[in-house]
Each structure stands twice: as structure tokens, then as C-alpha cells.
Structure 1
Amino acid sequence: MSEFHLAAEFFPMNEHDLDQVAALEASLQPFPWSRGNFADSLSAGYSVWVCRLGGELIGFSVVMSVIDEAHLLNIGVAARHHGQGYGARLLRNAMQAARQGGATKLFLEVRPSNERAVELYRHFGFRQIGLRKGYYPAASGREDALIFDKELA
């Protein structure tokens, strides 16, 4: 593991992070969440985190919890840091925060075309439990979503 990898730190997202998080999301997604979506997540009290490497914001996650279930709404890592383990660390952090918040199960949706993310979730023991037809906007209409879940207990 490199020193840079070990230097990654996680912090609860705050209002000062919103512009950077929205810009990172826009660099990753053809149909990104807006700054307002992230601000709403903060206001709603969701578990929202940023990952920083030497002060640079390189990732984020957003988890909504209701009673004993949590839903990973969004997660992203700067493209130049893909394949370096930061997505896995963000996912672990999101699962730990959900567990600490009382969740016993975590749900998420993912595009089938996002093979790297599908592989990551399966590696962490998520299992596909369903399919949402036409869930995501796509360049050529709509794309389905795979629904995954994982027991956190």
C-alpha cells in the first residue's frame, strides 16, 4: 500500500464541500446530481462523507437511513484515482456509518454498464435482488438499474 493510499482521510461532508463535490460528480456522471441534491442530503441529515487525499477532495458518499435500513444513494471517486482502492474504502466507510446509525441492511442501485462498480459491490458481498427498468437516464433513452442489498449485522 502506498503512503498516498494511507493518507486518505474521511470527513463528514459540510456546506463548504458542496461546490467541490458537485464538480466531482459532474466530472463522473453524464447525468449528475446537482449541488442542490447534495445540499438537500446534508439538510435531511443523511450520512454524507468526503474522502480527502492530502487535502484534495477525491471522493464522496451519500447514505440515507430509515429505521434499520440504509440506502447508498451516491458514491464517487475522482477518475484519476480509480483502481487505487479509494472506492472500496469509501464503501467500507459508508457501510460502517450505516451500521453505527442502526442499519442492519444496505441497499443500492447500480447501472449494469458500470461494470467496475458492479464488481466492487459483489466483492463486498452485495447480492442482486431485483431490477428497476428504465431507472437511469442514458444517452440513448433510459438504462435499467440492478438492485443490490447486503446484510450489515
Structure 2
Amino acid sequence: MMGLPFDNLRQRSFVIETLAREDATHLVPIHAGTFRQPWSEDDFHALLGEANVFGFIAREEGNRAAQPGGFVLARLVLDEAEILTIAVAPQFQRKGVGHALMDAALRHLYNARATMLFLEVDELNAPALALYRSLGFKQVGKRPGYYETPSGRSAALTMRRDLGHRETGSGR
């Protein structure tokens, strides 16, 4: 179990722990509070049952009964990974929870010797874009009209971060 503690401005201390299938119930309300088309508990159970899927959850330190602050779910196939979803409860947004979750995922992937990480984000989600850019992600693609919004549709931006591991062939 990973225990990376951090404190936010409201004096709540969180730890980042590895997600387990039993956590699926706690992920649903966070995801529903963040996305227009939230995933179900069955969706999370299925993903967390896959061998190549992993994730992390932010829990209030010393209070496991409290609703978690957020989570990240990712998939690693060979040396490439993708963030499947990341969600932070509205009351904990812009307080470092998302950054701590992404940091845990990046550390895990670096230790797993992944070479790159991909994600998709709504072009209108300025806070998420700022977070991803601060973590070194670069836009590498765009899917027009991908997300449904209250005023129509918006594009999904595909972003990538190189993780520094490159295989070098002999003779180079």
C-alpha cells in the first residue's frame, strides 16, 4: 500500500493509496460529481479486475470511513499507458488532490519502465489542462465534437507525456 501524505489548505491531511476492487462503490459518487456521463459501479469493478489496470485513491488520513477525495485509474500495456479517468470530489478540487494522484500514477509508471502516458481531456476543462501541462503533458491530437456539453459539443484533446525510459538497440 502506498502512503504518500499531503496536506491541503483546509488542514485535512490525505494519503494516496492503491485502489482495490472494493473501492468501486466509493468511486461512483466522485465520478458522478465530475462527469456528465458517469461510470457505474459495475464499470469500475470490471476495470479494477483487469490485470493491466491500476489506480490510486486519496483518503483522509486517519478516517477511512470518510468519502475519498478523489481517484485516478490507468491502464498499462507493454510500455505505454493511458489515464482512463481521474476525478476529484468538487470540495477538494484545486487543493492538490489531482496533482498528488497524478504524481502517484507517474511514479508507478516510471517504476514499471513505461515510456509514455496518454490521456484525453475536454478542451474546455481549463483546470485539468493546467494540471496536465504543469506535469509535462503535450497535446498530440484532437477529437472534434467528442464531449457533450450544456451548450453543444467540445473537442477531446489527446495529450502525451514521455516518461524517459527508452530501449536502446545494440550498436548505437
Query: Is the 1:108–1:148 Cα contact (8 Å) retained in structure 2?
Result: yes
Give runs of aligned pairs for residues 44-83 of structure 1, distance below 5 A: 44-45=50-51, 46-54=53-61, 55=64, 56=66, 57-83=68-94
SS in 2 for 1:117: helix
The CA distance in 2 between the partners of 1:37 and 1:141, in whole Å, is 26
Runs of 4+ in structure 1 over 4 Å off: none
Give the corresponding residue for 1:131.
142
Structure 1: 5+ residue runs without aligned partners?
none
Q: When the two structures are superposed, what TM-score results if normalisation uses the length of structure 2?
A: 0.81
Work out which of the residue numbers 34, 43, 49 in structure 2 matches 1:28: 34
Give a deviation string over 1:43-64, Cα, whole Å, max 9, x none.
1120121110133311100111
Give the corresponding residue for 1:37.
43
Q: In percent, how many aligned pairs have the same letter?
A: 32
Give the aligned length. Answer: 152
Query: Is the 2:8–2:95 Cα contact (8 Å) retained in structure 1?
Result: no
Distance 1:66 1:37, change over 3 A: same
SS in 2 for 1:125: coil
Query: Is the 1:72–1:106 Cα contact (8 Å) retained in structure 2?
Result: yes
Which of these two proteins has the greater Rg computed from alpha carbons?
A: 2
Q: When the two structures are superposed, what TM-score results if normalisation uses the length of structure 1?
A: 0.90
Structure 2: 5+ residue runs without aligned partners?
1-6, 165-172
Give a deviation string over 1:47-99, Cα, whole Å, max 9, x none.
12111013331110011111111001101111111111111111111111122
Q: Higher helix proportion, which one?
A: 1
Work out which of the residue numbers 95, 98, 103 in structure 1 matches 2:106: 95
SS in 1 for 2:16: strand
Give the corresponding residue for 1:112.
123
| Cα RMSD after superposing both structures | 1.8
